[in-house]
């Protein structure tokens, strides 16, 4: 499957400000960059920086006054949908060091708080069987709602409000998975079925030696997700981090199946 991606950002900066962008689809074995351009209207030079876990790339830039960025990408995705259910559990003690952070709590994914819930409600399940049950639980327990959360909302809030956007679904699924000893990370992505069209966020769960995409919003299938960045939670995968302040003027994200 091929995705055509068009992103346009226009922001206003009161004063010269450093900006970290993460909006380019990552080149990976299951998602090939067919064509890609990132254009930033700025007098300052642009610097690339490697993404978390060596995936994708961040782009440092400097903005002053009106600032515009345009991303155009064609991505070929070749990824089979895998049934999580039969995948075996890996006990924590067999995990490599680079996976350890994905077992631990983080700001928006306070996994330690959810251990009691996971132990009680999913007793006897582990590995793929637990992962599949958790994805299903989040998908059916939450209502998608654009106005139910903010940038400060944690998985604890979402667990009680039972509603949120893609980011909240991902945070809750990641928290529950970690609480069940499954390494889990957050992924920013592009996907065609996102409604309203926007940057998307999903989870990745580590089972039987590799990462498996899981979108608890069920807006996207595993086969049509183009990853941008990965990390512990929304902190790491934000499409734009401003080291100062900025004002949104226009923003559009369009993703089509080609």
Give the residue from 233, 239, 244 showing the smallest Cα distance to 21: 239
Shortest reach from residue 18's CB to a copy of itself, in Å? 4
Q: Which two tokens stand for residue 92?
A: 């924590």
Q: Which CB sits closer to a copy of itself, 225 or 238?
A: 238
Shortest reach from residue 24's CB to a copy of itself, in Å? 13
* Three-state SS annotation for 105-125: CCCCCCHHHHHHHHHHHCCCC
Separation of alpha carbons 170 and 130, rounded Å:
16
Shortest reach from residue 40's CB to a copy of itself, in Å? 12
Shortest reach from residue 215's CB to a copy of itself, in Å? 21
Q: Which CB sits closer to a copy of itself, 6 or 52?
A: 52
Q: Where are the alpha helices (DSSP H) in the chain?
A: 115-121, 127-141, 155-161, 166-179, 234-237
Q: Which CB sits closer to a copy of itself, 179 or 219?
A: 179
- CA 237 to chain centroid, in Å, comes to 6
Q: How many residues does the chain have?
A: 258
Q: Which residues contact a copy of itself (rule: CB under 8 A)?
A: 18-20, 44, 47, 49-52, 57-58, 60-62, 91-98, 100-101, 103-107, 110, 113-117, 119-121, 141, 143, 148, 150, 152, 156-157, 159-163, 181, 231, 235-236, 241, 243
Q: Which CB sits closer to a copy of itself, 115 or 208?
A: 115
- CA 25 to chain centroid, in Å, comes to 12
Shortest reach from residue 132's CB to a copy of itself, in Å? 21
Q: Which CB sits closer to a copy of itself, 213 or 238?
A: 238
Separation of alpha carbons 109 and 174, rounded Å:
7
Shortest reach from residue 70's CB to a copy of itself, in Å? 20
Q: How would DSSP label each residue in 9-32?
A: EEEEEEEEEEEEE--SPPPBTTEE
Q: Which CB sits closer to a copy of itself, 204 or 224?
A: 204
């Amino acid at each position: 499957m091929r995705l055509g991606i068009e992103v346009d950002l226009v922001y206003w900066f009161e004063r010269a400000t450093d900006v970290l962008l993460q909006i380019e689809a990552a080149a990976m074995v299951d998602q090939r960059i067919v064509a890609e351009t990132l254009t930033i209207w700025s007098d300052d030079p642009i610097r690339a920086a490697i993404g978390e876990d060596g995936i994708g790339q961040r782009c440092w830039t400097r903005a002053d006054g009106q600032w515009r960025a345009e991303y155009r990408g064609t991505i070929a995705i070749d990824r089979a949908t895998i049934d999580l259910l039969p995948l075996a559990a890996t006990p924590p003690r067999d995990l490599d060091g680079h996976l350890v952070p994905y077992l631990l709590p983080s700001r928006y994914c306070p996994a330690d708080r959810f251990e009691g819930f996971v132990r009680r409600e999913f007793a006897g399940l582990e590995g793929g069987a637990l992962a599949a049950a958790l994805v299903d639980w989040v998908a059916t327990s939450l209502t998608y709602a654009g106005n139910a959360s903010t940038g400060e909302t944690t998985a604890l809030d979402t667990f009680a409000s039972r509603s949120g956007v893609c980011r909240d679904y991902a945070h809750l699924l990641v928290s529950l998975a970690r609480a069940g000893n499954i390494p889990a990370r957050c992924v920013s992505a592009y996907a065609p079925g996102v409604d309203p069209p926007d940057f998307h966020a999903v989870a990745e769960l580590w089972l039987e030696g590799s990462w498996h995409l899981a979108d608890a919003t069920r807006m996207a299938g595993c086969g049509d997700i183009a990853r941008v960045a990965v990390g512990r939670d929304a902190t790491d995968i934000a499409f734009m981090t401003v080291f100062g302040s900025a004002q949104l003027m226009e923003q559009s994200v369009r993703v089509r199946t080609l």
